[in-house]
Amino acid sequence: MTVLPPHLEVLLKDISTPAYVVDMAVLKKNMATAAHIRKESGCRILLATKAFALPVVFSLMREFLDGTTASGVHEARLGRETFGKEVHVYAPAYTRNSIHELLTISDHIYFNSADQLRRFLPEVKAYGRDKLVGIRINPGYSNATLGGHLYDPCSPRSRFGVLRRDLDDLPWDGIDILHAHALCESLHHGSVGLIEHMAREFAPYLRRVGAVNFGGGHFFSKAGYDIEALIRAIRDFRAAFNVEVILEPGSGCVVDAGYLVATVVDVIHNETDIAILDASASCHMPDVLEVPYTPPLYGAAAPGENPFTFILAGNTCMAGDIIGEYSFPKPLKPGDSLVFGDMLQYSFVKNNTFNGTPLPDIALLHEDGRYEVVRRFGYDDFKARLC
């Protein structure tokens, strides 16, 4: 059972819930780790806004990172307007309209297929010599540690990237960056394994480009990740192929740096005790159902380890709105506060207002213990998504 650290006790006091809370001290620690990797390896690190996009903390993050990477026009625009450094963009496919808009926003554009590359390469190159072009390949290396095929970009019949057998047919004189994303919540074994796999299996193609992007999924802020092993692998790779190396983590930047705080609304019994919360798996923690996984919860343990076991459920009409089953030292009751850990990644960027469920506050827990709500949502936010 993980005990709530003393500096988080404010989250159990009289705050409005549900609430996503950024722990600024942990975020700064994660950013210091990113800065160390950049300095010692010579690589560039971009924030993947698909996993975490919170402009209120970008003023901090931009001091440690090189920019952002986006999955489309809106994310690219957000990165340009609120982060203010390099903007890279990759999407499985572009339309002519989206390409035209992205040319005015992004610095570098990555393509997913040979057809898309050939179709839009002339326009990108004509726009300006400093606009670099990347091609995503399927490296045939899988190290997605979460979610099976759902989060494995190199799973069988994946739509992501050009297969090795088709690489010789690409217009290499127009390609500046080789992009290989194969990880998800991977520790150093996955990161180093991907780098070594690329060096071993794709050397002729690596020598045709000026930079290699190893994508995201590098969980470098997670306990147990060997940072120095990653640094050595990047150094060796850069020396062997004389290329720039780019990493684009999202979750890795915010591992364990935030929480979802909820309140017990009611307790019922149907074969087992069930606590209904003002937080919802389907609305506020969608990866709990999609992956699926059971999020960490401070002060709780696996079912049966403590005397009182409860199913935690959301306050929606969906029968499957179940967060998980946990055990507690004492029975839960209405009004009790619960703090779920590691809740910044793929949370508020994917949430929804199903059933008219209110969106959680977004708040900062500052290093001096001050709790600051930076955004509160209401009925108008719900209605605006429907009109």
Read off the pLDDT band of 142 (50, 70, 90): confident
Domains of the chain: 6-22+257-384 (2.40.37.10), 42-253 (3.20.20.10)
Residue 6 CA, chain-centre distance (Å), reads 27
Instruction: For residue 193, count other CB atoms closer than 10 A to its CB.
Output: 17
Find the angle CA(230)-CA(231)-CA(234) to the nearest 5 degrees: 85
DSSP codes of every residue in 184-196: ESB-HHHHHHHHH
Average pLDDT over residues 298-325: 97
**Beta strand spans in 76-201 (E):** 86-90, 108-111, 132-136, 143-144, 177-179, 183-184
Read off the pLDDT band of 330 (50, 70, 90): very high
Measure the CA dihedral 20/21/24/28, to 10°. Answer: -40
* pTM of the shown model: 0.95
CA distance 93 to 30: 32
Average pLDDT over residues 190-200: 97
Average pLDDT over residues 248-276: 98
- pLDDT, position 151: 76
Q: Flag whether pLDDT at 152 surpasses 90.
A: no
CA distance 160 to 151: 12
CA distance 69 to 75: 8
- pLDDT, position 300: 97
Q: Give residue-wise pLDDT tens across range 81-118.
A: 999 999 999 999 999 999 999 999 999 999 999 999 99
Strands 361-365 and 19-23: parallel
Of 8-17, 140-149, 282-291, the one with minimum mean pLDDT is 140-149
Read off the pLDDT band of 146 (50, 70, 90): low
- pLDDT, position 144: 67
Whole-number mean pLDDT of the chain?
A: 95
Any idea what DSSP says for residue 168?
G
CA distance 249 to 52: 10
Read off the pLDDT band of 179 (50, 70, 90): very high
Q: Give residue-wise pLDDT tens across range 14-55.
A: 899 999 999 999 999 999 999 999 999 999 999 999 999 999
